[in-house]
């Protein structure tokens, strides 16, 4: 895992990230292209470029600062922008053709506010290559978040200086033409409060059906947010306040009323129901009430919540993120046992009295 501290304009920070991550990005581009061709039905690099170009166009129309960041990253890495776009929109590209089983989230109420635990699961070529970014973009609050080389910041769990925390779990229903989930998530991670963050995450048209846990330290509020594209569900947004008991989510829809059966429940390659059942069991029997207990629980390799490439060829645990928004703290544990240091803690905002 690479740790970076950056500040400045979107272009400046993107350039700094691109310079630092160039070796990983060059390698990952080739791996991502091969992975997409071998495991999805996208078919060709040409089709990948077409999809990435369309998402770039929508991004320019909705929040051009994200494109500015990606162009800065292209400049810093000395890679063509079209290759950066394929990396940055790789989840949208893959999700047009095949679903995959990814992250898990557990939220436990404590006397010091909500304790959010999240396993970031994704494709195995990212193992050991995650980017932990402590960034202050001009005009926005400082954020500490985990992401991927060549992608936008904060996509794998983040906390900002205003106390806004976000994690996300990908859901399986088909994609629809719309805005990039990655762009909406990045924008929401810089929000001033929970209402603003939710507004960005739920802004239509939604391309990828997704679950977010969004929390706000100053108000002590945590919510579950499921969003879907038009035509996927009877409603496009489900907003549920978390509490007073523990809350769990994996990769199948729990609140939205889908128009078609959820493909995560048909047993073809998804272990989302098994992971949800295990999280719910832990919430009853091993309820973690401290950051260390949450880290230890979710980072323990069990083949279900925490998976390696020997246990799953397509989705492995890359890191565990724990956030306590009320105290302004975030912890990250690298899933790579050779990482040094393996655990990091940040105080992003002063604790509330």
Chain centroid to Cα 157, Å, comes to 6
Q: pLDDT, tens digit, for every residue of 187-239?
A: 999 999 999 999 999 999 999 999 999 999 999 999 999 999 989 999 999 99
Query: Residue for token digits 């544990």?
Result: 333
Q: Which CATH superfamily is domain 1-353 in?
A: Penicillin V Acylase; Chain A (3.60.60.10)
35 has pLDDT over 90 = no
Q: How many CB atoms lie within 10 A of CB 313?
A: 11
pLDDT (0 to 100) of residue 353:
56
Q: How many CB atoms lie within 10 A of CB 19?
A: 15
Question: Contact, 210 vs 102, CB < 8 A?
Answer: no
Q: pLDDT, tens digit, for every residue of 117-169?
A: 999 998 888 999 999 999 999 999 999 999 999 999 999 999 999 999 999 99
Q: Which one, of 151, 168, 45, 175, lies nearest residue 97 by Cα?
A: 175
pLDDT (0 to 100) of residue 226:
98
Q: pLDDT, tens digit, for every residue of 303-340?
A: 999 999 888 877 899 999 999 999 999 999 999 999 99
> What 3-state DSSP class applies to 188?
helix
Q: Indicate the domain borders of the chain.
A: 1-353
> What 3-state DSSP class applies to 9?
coil
Q: How many CB atoms lie within 10 A of CB 332?
A: 26
DSSP class per residue in 247-300:
EEE-SS-SSS-BSS--GGGS-SS--HHHHHHHHHHHHHHS---SHHHHHHHHHS
Local confidence band at 106 (pLDDT 50, 70, 90 cut-offs):
very high
Query: Residue for token digits 């091993």?
Result: 286
pLDDT (0 to 100) of residue 269:
64
């Amino acid at each position: 895992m690479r740790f970076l501290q950056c500040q400045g304009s979107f272009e400046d920070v993107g350039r700094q990230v691109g310079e630092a991550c160039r070796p990983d990005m060059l390698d990952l581009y080739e791996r991502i292209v091969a992975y997409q061709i071998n495991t999805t039905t996208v078919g060709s690099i040409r089709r990948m470029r077409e999809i990435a170009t369309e998402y770039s166009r929508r991004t320019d129309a909705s929040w051009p600062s994200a494109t500015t960041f990606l162009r800065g990253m292209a400049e810093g890495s000395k890679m063509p922008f079209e290759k950066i776009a394929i990396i940055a929109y790789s989840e949208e590209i893959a999700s047009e053709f095949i679903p995959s089983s990814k992250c898990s989230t557990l939220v436990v109420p404590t006397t010091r506010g909500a304790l959010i635990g999240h396993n970031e699961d994704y494709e195995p070529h990212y193992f050991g290559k995650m980017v932990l970014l402590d960034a202050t973009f001009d005009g926005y609050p400082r954020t500490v978040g985990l992401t991927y080389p060549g992608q936008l910041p904060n996509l794998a769990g983040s906390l900002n200086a205003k106390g806004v925390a976000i994690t996300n779990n990908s859901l399986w229903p088909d994609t629809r033409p719309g805005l990039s989930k990655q762009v909406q998530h990045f924008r929401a991670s810089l929000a001033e409060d929970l209402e603003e963050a939710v507004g960005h995450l739920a802004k239509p048209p939604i391309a990828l059906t997704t679950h977010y846990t969004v929390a706000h330290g100053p108000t002590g509020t945590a919510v579950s947010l499921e969003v879907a594209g038009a035509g996927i569900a009877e409603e496009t947004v489900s907003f549920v306040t978390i509490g007073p008991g523990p809350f769990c989510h994996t990769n199948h829809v729990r609140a939205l009323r889908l128009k078609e059966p959820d493909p995560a429940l048909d047993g073809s390659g998804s272990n989302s129901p098994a992971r949800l059942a295990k999280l719910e069991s832990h919430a009853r029997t091993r309820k973690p009430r401290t950051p260390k207990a949450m880290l230890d629980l979710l980072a323990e390799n069990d083949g279900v919540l925490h998976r390696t490439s020997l246990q799953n060829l397509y989705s492995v645990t890359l890191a565990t993120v724990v956030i306590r928004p009320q105290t302004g703290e975030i912890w990250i544990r690298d899933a790579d046992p050779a990482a040094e240091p393996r655990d990091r803690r940040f105080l992003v905002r002063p604790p509330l009295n």
